[in-house]
Amino acid sequence: CLLLQFLSYLGACDRLLKQGYDEGQVEEAMEMFQYSEKKAAEFLHLLAQFNDMGFQQNEIKEVLLLCGNQREKALEELVMK
């Protein structure tokens, strides 16, 4: 049922927002990972980590998508850029 999917999406977004992530980033991550809360949460966590390390957000997003949210592989790619 579409309503249940929508409510599930809202619940997932709400949980991610309560973790302190930006609303726009939460919505973008949920769409990128076909509304998988787990994958979106991994992405947002790594995005924040790499952002804190000083990497550019657009590069981080690109690398995380290419590496499938694999932290070590993504970090290696970011360092090589």
Domain boundaries, the chain: 2-80
pTM beyond cutoff 0.75: yes
In angstroms, what CA-CA distances link 48 with 2, 8, 53, 63, 79? 31, 24, 9, 14, 16
Q: Tell me the pLDDT tens digit for each residue of 43-80.
A: 999 999 999 999 999 999 999 999 999 999 999 999 99
Q: Tell me the pLDDT tens digit for each residue of 9-25.
A: 999 999 999 999 999 99
Fold category of 2-80 in CATH: Four Helix Bundle (Hemerythrin (Met), subunit A) (1.20.120)
Answer whether 30's CB lies under 8 Å from 42's CB.
no
Distance CA 30, CA 50 (A): 19
